[in-house]
Chain A
Amino acid sequence: MIVDIILDGFFAALAGIGFGSISDPPLRAFKMIAILAAIGHALRFSLMSFSGFDISTASFFGALVIGFGSLLLGKKVYCPMTVLYIPALLPMIPGRYAYNTVFSLIMLMQSLNDPEKLHNYLEKMVSNGLVTVTVIFLLAVGATLPMMLFPHKAFSLTRHEQKS
């Protein structure tokens, strides 16, 4: 169980770093992105596997932790919150559900003359699509919440301490 959680965090960290690199973050941010991605994803994994949470609620809590983490760690590397939390959130994007939505839509088009199949695929498409949209929305809101709670702290992360 512990091994599963650690492995989950490890691969999430790899994914966070890799997806982050597409968006050209400063080099000093990579370490923090990896830590946040690992903690967030491992938390979601634990909540879903051991506490029976559904994917959207678990994602929200994962994102919330990433958001608060980026507020704390952002000051250490002088990076705005979004620079740390957007790459860290990416491993939580519900790819499987997004894929199923597209796949069901295609199969729905292929089975327009078969009401039973049509119904089945329509149901799959709507449920998977809703999960995808809800999870992505909650991810964004969860990570942004700390920014709304502590605006002054969040807005001065890139300010270097004045030497007085």
Chain B
Amino acid sequence: MDTNTSFPSLEKFIAEYAACLMGAGVHTSRVVRNTRRIGEAFERDVKLTVFHKSIIVTIADPQTGKSHNEIADIPALPISFTYNSELSALSWEAYDKHLSLEILKEKFNAIVKAPHIHPLLVLLLASLANASFCRLFGGDLYSICIVYSATFTGLFLKQQMQKHKINVYITFIASAFVASLLASTALIFEHTTAELALSTSVLFLVPGVPLINGVIDIVEGYILIGYTRLTEAALLITSIAIGLSFTLLLVKDNLI
């Protein structure tokens, strides 16, 4: 019989911590390292088996030789670099300062519950980003302004659809279609770089995080999960292409 009552709750916490990191879009080796570090702080040996939708955590107590398994579902969280940085720092803090489980849980909850960047600010910044992108490719002032408004609308649609938990592929197709359709208004003006406006308008949707995490995972030996991430990214990119295609099919005669 397990007399150590804190053991199951420690185990649950470690599994929750690992699942939260995976859900927030952290590459696998960092999740494994951080989780093991927390285990070491409590003198437990932690082993992880990571899948795309769930994670198996095996925690062994080297002194008693007992081990427990915990399986956690990986939540579909929005990508958050804040979770990535703060939860990584938390694992070092637990390791360096030997925090008690209660304090650790408190700090974890404080990080998870902290507010995200305001969606409106994200809208403004991301639209500005896409407009600068258009400028980088050599777009003129008309195209830049059109891309700004197209991105704003497209991203707003994406945020709203995500809020209502609509299927992610449908969200991407619809957002890409709306953004590119609005950008195609650049065709009305003569002598503008309309094609550039069209091509940049959907780039705010590119799933950069799973793409790069996928490559990192593959080169670090987590090949299975790396390919899973790349498959996910490829599906999202295909969705963007489908949304863009609807627009292109509508306006293609003006583009050739």
- List residues of A whose CB falls within 8 A of some B CB: 8, 11-12, 14-26, 29, 41, 78-80, 82-83, 86-87, 89-91, 93, 95-96, 98-100, 102-103, 105-107, 110, 136-137, 139-141, 143-144, 147-148, 155-160, 162
Contact = CB atoms under 8 A, between A and B. Distances in A.
Contact of B129 (A8, A17, A29, A155): A17
Given A15-B132, A19-B126, A99-B244, A25 B82 contact: yes
A91 B248 contact: no
B203 A93 contact: yes
21 contacts: A8-B136, A11-B133, A15-B132, A15-B136, A18-B125, A18-B129, A19-B126, A19-B129, A22-B155, A23-B79, A24-B81, A25-B85, A82-B212, A87-B81, A89-B212, A95-B133, A106-B248, A144-B215, A147-B216, A159-B89, A160-B92
Contacts of B93: 160
Interface stretch (B41-49, B55-63, B115-123, B184-192): B115-123
Nearest to A27: B117
Contacts of B79: 22-24
Contact of B85 (A83, A103, A137, A147): A83
Given A18-B127, A158-B88, A86 B208 contact: yes
A99 B215 contact: no
A16 B129 contact: yes
Given A23-B209, A141-B219, A18 B248 contact: no
A106 to B, nearest CB: 5
Contacts of B245: 102, 106
Which of A82, A96, A162: most chain B Cβ within 10 A? Answer: A82
Interface string B238-256: 0001001100110010011
Interface of B: 25-27, 30, 33, 78-86, 88-89, 91-93, 96, 116-117, 121-122, 125-130, 132-133, 135-137, 155, 195-196, 198-200, 203-204, 206, 208-209, 211-213, 215-216, 219-220, 237, 241, 244-245, 248-249, 252, 255-256
B215 A141 contact: yes
A2 B82 CA distance: 35
Contacts of B200: 95
Contacts of A102: 241, 244-245, 248
Nearest to B24: A24
Contacts of B83: 24
A20 to B, nearest CB: 8
A41 to B, nearest CB: 7
Q: Report the 8 A-B pairs with minimum CB-CB distance, sorted nearest first.
A: A18-B129, A99-B199, A140-B215, A25-B81, A14-B132, A11-B132, A159-B92, A158-B88
B84 A18 contact: no
